Amino acid sequence: MKTVPFLASVLVSVALLIGCIDRTEQPLIQMQNDLEQMLGTAMLNGDITMQRARDHLTVVITERLLFDAGSHEIKPDGIEALKRMGVLFKTAAFKEIRVAGHADKASVANRSSEYFEKLALSKARATQTVRVLKENGVESQSLIIEWYGDIRPIASNETEAGRQMNRRIEILLYAGM
């Protein structure tokens, strides 16, 4: 099974050589490959997904891996996954690491107070995620905490499945010096 990472490294090297990808993409591609190897089970279960853009890699972690419903305390499996990510992140040269907390949409009946509760919860979750990363060696000057409450949904809030997708932490890794 070690041939897959080797082949991926060879393909990245060839692409760099012929100019298909630039130098900012290389560390992102390598990080994505390393995370896929390390977090295989969580990715297979759908608890962690990744999306790569030219200048950053986004790691999306579901609520069910990290938190109990309505809580900002990280569960043991979530702490373990974040610790493993932290080990990788501290060895890479990232310009910045943004940790963003997201929530599902507040119900219409109690919109005003629930909105602020969800905003506070998304902030607390992002802060706890950063705490675990810092405890595992990620440089604090490269970390940025963001919280959005329910204003950046990735799915419809009309179904429970959609609301579950919206309750997430996103870790955005920006390449560069």
- The answer to whether residue 149 is domain-embedded is yes
Please tell me the predicted confidence (pLDDT) of residue 8: 56
- CA 86, CA 40: separation in Å to the nearest integer? 16
Distance CA 32, CA 43 (A): 12
- Looking at residue 11, what is its pLDDT? 57
Evaluate whether residue 111 is within a structural domain.
Answer: yes
Domain assignment of residue 124, yes or no: yes
**How much is the pLDDT for 44?**
82
Q: Considering the domain boundaries, does residue 12 fall inside one?
A: no
Domain membership flag for residue 57: yes
Q: Which stretches of the chain are DSSP H helices?
A: 3-18, 25-38, 40-44, 63-66, 76-91, 111-135, 160-166
- Give the separation between CA 64 and CA 171, rounded to whole angstroms: 16
How far apart, in whole angstroms, are the C-alpha atoms of residue 173 and residue 27? 10
What is the chain's length? 177
Q: What is the pLDDT along the chain (177 residues), one digit of tens a residue?
A: 555 556 556 555 555 444 455 667 888 999 999 999 998 888 888 999 999 998 999 999 999 999 998 899 999 999 999 999 999 998 888 889 999 999 998 665 556 677 789 999 999 999 999 999 999 989 888 899 999 999 999 999 999 999 999 999 999 999 875
pLDDT of residue 106: 65
Give a yes or no: residue 135 inside a domain: yes
CATH number, residue 105: 3.30.1330.60
Q: Is 51 helix (H, G, I), strand (E, B) or coil?
A: strand
Domain that holds residue 69: 23-175
Grouping H, G, I as helix, E, B as strand and the rest as coil, residue 98 is: strand
Q: What pLDDT is attached to residue 18? A: 47
Query: Does residue 126 sit within a domain?
Result: yes
pLDDT of 100 reads 98
For the chain, what is the domain count? 1
pTM: 0.83
With respect to residue 78, please indicate whether it lies within any of the assigned structural domains. Answer: yes
